[in-house]
Amino acid sequence: MRGALVLAAALLGIGACDRALPAADPFASERPTPEAVGVPPLPVDAHESVRTHYTERVTLFATLPPIQGGVAFVGDSLTDAMRWSEAFPSRRVRNFGVNADTVQGVVNRIDQVIAAEPAQVFIMVGTNDIAAGRTSDEIAGGYATLLDRLTEGLPHARIYVQSVLPREAARDGVVREVNARLAVLARDRGAEYIDLHSRFAVEGGRIDPRVTLDDLHLAGEGYARWREVIAPLIEPEEAAR
């Protein structure tokens, strides 16, 4: 009797596994793919939903009309999560933030920002590069390409390079090194450098725990602080035309 029960359980298990196998997608070759939209290398443990979200965002940007004189916010999840149009309701705004993005990822999709024809571009990217172990030389090299593409494609736009925010105290040294390189790049390429780091760092070089959920992503107070810093730089609509 016990043997029969074991056999029955085994057969049920096999049946359950068979039913759990997903059917092959007959339209897979026709669907947008992360590779086609230039998703940058992601951590090996990144969930597939991260790649899906990246693909959703980039394919969406490709369908939107220009904002012609508005403000573009460009970056990773920190930018992605903010409701910029609600933070600056009197301006035409587009959020080009994408979760998990890197400097190279922004370079890959910068033509979409250029095509939107913004008058102001605020960039913050690099923290995921730091987490991935990229050096300040690698990050600065990618940023140089990014700024060259932007200044060539948007010669009349005002470009703002926002510093990488502080993270855990252990990363303070590399964050400061990267920010020092970004400040020089911004100056050399006619962009404006915005020091957000000093407004978010506390003793020991770590990010203020009152503004962050996990030493990386921001809570509401963090976004309020960010908005406070850049609000004076957001030009009135008529001045940006």
- Between CA 24 and CA 111 the distance in angstroms is 34
Q: Is the pLDDT of residue 190 over 80?
A: yes
According to DSSP, the residues that pair with 5 across neighbouring strands are: none
Average pLDDT over every residue of 237-241:
59
Q: pLDDT tens across 35-90, in order?
A: 776 677 666 567 788 888 999 999 999 999 999 999 999 999 999 999 999 999 99
Q: Indicate the average pLDDT of the chain.
A: 89
- In angstroms, rounded to a whole number, what is the distance separating the alpha carbons of residues 125 and 102? 6
What is the mean pLDDT of the segment spanning 6-26? 61
**What's residue 24's pLDDT?**
87
Spatial distance between the Cα atoms of 193 and 230, rounded to a whole number of angstroms? 11
Q: What average pLDDT does the segment 26-41 reach?
A: 74
pLDDT category of residue 175 using cuts at 50, 70 and 90: very high
Q: Where are the domains of the chain?
A: 68-240
Query: Minimal CA–CA distance to 117: which of 78, 68, 150?
Result: 68
Tokens read off for 51: 């790649």
Using DSSP's 3-state secondary structure scheme, residue 168 falls into: coil
Q: Which of 2-6, 66-70, 158-162, 212-216 has the lowest mean pLDDT?
A: 2-6
pLDDT of residue 218 exceeding 90: yes
Of 163 and 35, the structure prediction assigns the larger pLDDT to 163
Provide the pLDDT confidence category of residue 25 given band limits of 50, 70 and 90: confident
| Lowest-pLDDT range of 53-57, 71-75, 119-123, 228-232 | 53-57
The per-residue DSSP string of 66-87 comes to P-SS-EEEEESHHHHTS-HHHH
* Banded pLDDT at 100 (limits 50, 70, 90): very high
The pLDDT of residue 239 is: 56
How would CATH label the architecture of 68-240?
Answer: 3-Layer(aba) Sandwich (3.40)
Q: Tell me the mean pLDDT in the region 16-38.
A: 71
Say how far apart CA 8 and CA 13 lie, in whole Å: 9
Query: Residue 23 pLDDT more than 90?
Result: no
**Given this model, what pLDDT does residue 208 score?**
98
45 versus 217: which is more confidently predicted? 217
